């Protein structure tokens, strides 16, 4: 499976998100201070 797997850095979030066709820069831009990703 191609893509990037990231985990939230908060203790409340235990989900593993698989992102396809996203660069690391785009992920950072869509990630807020709480570690939430908006896609």
Question: What one-character DSSP code corresponds to residue 18?
Answer: E
Straight-line distance from the first to the last Cα atom of the chain, in angstroms, rounded to the nearest whole number: 19
What is the rounded distance in angstroms from the CA atom of residue 39 to the CA atom of residue 19? 9
pLDDT digit string, tens, across residues 1-39: 345 555 555 545 445 555 555 566 666 666 665 566 554
Average pLDDT score over the chain: 57
Domain boundaries, the chain: 1-39
Q: What is the pTM of this model?
A: 0.23
Q: 16: helix, coil or strand?
A: strand
């Amino acid at each position: 499976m191609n893509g990037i797997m990231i985990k939230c850095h908060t203790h409340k979030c235990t989900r593993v998100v698989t992102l396809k066709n996203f660069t690391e820069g785009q992920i950072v831009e869509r990630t807020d201070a709480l570690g939430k990703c908006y896609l």
